[in-house]
Amino acid sequence: MTSSESTEYGRGARILAIGIGVTGLVTYAYFSLASHALDDDDYGRISLLWSAIFITVSVLYRPVEQLLSRTIADRDARGLTGSGHLRVAATIQLALGVVFVIGALIARDALQDDLLGGSETLYWVLIVAVLAYAASYFTRGYLAGHGMFGLYGGLVFFEACARVMFALLAVVGVASGESFVALGMAAAPIVSLVVVPWAVTRHARAGAAGGPSAAPDGEAEFTLARGAGFAAAVLLIMVAEQTFLNAGPLLLKATADTNGAALAGFAFNVLLIARAPLQLFQAIQTSILPHLTKSHAGGEAEQFRRSINVTLAAIGVFALGVALTMLVLGPWLMGLFFGSEFDYDRGGLVLVSLGMGMYLAAATLNQAALARGRAAQAAACWAAAAIVFVIALVGWEWDDRILQVEVAYLSGALLLCALLYGLYRATDARH
């Protein structure tokens, strides 16, 4: 990778980080406003709807986003052109959307009555939002692979702004109720696609500027089987990832004798300490995969390692800062943002902060594995850590269920980081 390419990567990553950082704050504001506009049970159902949507879209659609991001970057580094990889990714994405619709219709009673408290509106918000995110995540992969980080940041920013407007209108009294607040989740991914015309125009201009013809074997080597294999491994990673981020609140609701929705909402608020930085870290994940892929394809091993080391160091500083903040101000900040109905334990907030740091480090090492074509091995690491995490949640029941979630999250993140670091070192030794 040339110096100019590295400079452009850094500039694009900074632009994306700003956009996604602001997006994270806006997303946090959505839940803060919703918690003030709704009672505990209604807010609990909103948090469960959010969890259900993002478990689904992350598991189903982020594999295609990662597939497109890596494949486009790899083809660009090797001088290949053509659109066969886009057709393969679109075919996989469409198939996954159809699978979701069929599954959601079959499981309607369980989703609508058991998960969403009998609300038909929340059920249809779930359906519409998940389908809309199919197009959103395909667009994200395309933008990331082509290095259009500004447009990527714009996409997620428009999404967050559209969603928070519904909660804001509920707070000021223009509208009310959980159904109205929930509609923001369906509108957000649709509004985010406003960036698509800009992306198409930019791509058309780049094509008009001229470039190499497609390599004779450029399309043949990217088959549906190859794309599906990579996507399947990443899909397993996404299942494990969402287990870490959302299994706690869902399992609390399922196992609680009383006030399950309210307890789930409390656990959801605590784990937002882990989720909110992921909004910012998404900038790193999005930009580092095509960057690492190009470095690997170009034989720039030292550049590859330097990128990983710098990212891990930054994560360490950030996680330590969050942990210290939670130690000093954690209960006050959580009460300020989400109300004083719950008593937030200072030590538990610090545990989640440290777990967040280990998790972000693991996610960085995961991107290194994907860039090197080690998706299957990375998926095995994620699956093992997720299983341990779930066992820690359901193997026995603590008196303090929230503390159990916090300890399980930290333990699972530590194991995941250790496993992926071992894979990174083993792969590094071969290169």
pLDDT of residue 265: 75
- Whole-number Å distance between alpha carbons of 216 and 2: 26
CA–CA–CA angle 290, 292, 296 (5° rounding):
115
pLDDT of residue 212: 46
- Whole-number Å distance between alpha carbons of 413 and 366: 13
pTM, to two decimals = 0.77
**Residue whose structure tokens are 């986003």:** 65
Lowest mean pLDDT among 59-73, 180-194, 323-337, 414-428: 323-337
Q: Among candidates 308, 312, 302, which has minimal Cα distance to 288? A: 308
- Whole-number Å distance between alpha carbons of 202 and 210: 13
pLDDT at residue 1 tops 50: no
CB atoms near residue 426 (< 10 Å): 11
Which whole number is the average pLDDT over 7-18? 65
Contact 111, 66 (CB under 8 A): no
Question: Dihedrals φ, ψ of 94, to 5°?
Answer: -65, -45
Token pair recorded at residue 3: 């110096």
- Spell out the residues 6+ positions from residue 126 whose beta carbon is closer than 8 angstroms to its own: 49, 52, 53, 56, 104, 111, 116
Give the pLDDT confidence of 266-325 residue by residue, as tens digits: 777 777 777 777 766 766 777 888 889 988 888 888 889 998 998 899 899 989 998 998
- Domain spans of the chain? 3-206+221-430
Contact 64, 116 (CB under 8 A): no
Contact 49, 127 (CB under 8 A): no
Residue 214 pLDDT class (50, 70, 90 cuts): very low
Contact 411, 385 (CB under 8 A): no
Give the pLDDT confidence of 352-368 residue by residue, as tens digits: 899 999 999 999 999 99
Q: Among candidates 222, 178, 243, which has minimal Cα distance to 85? A: 222
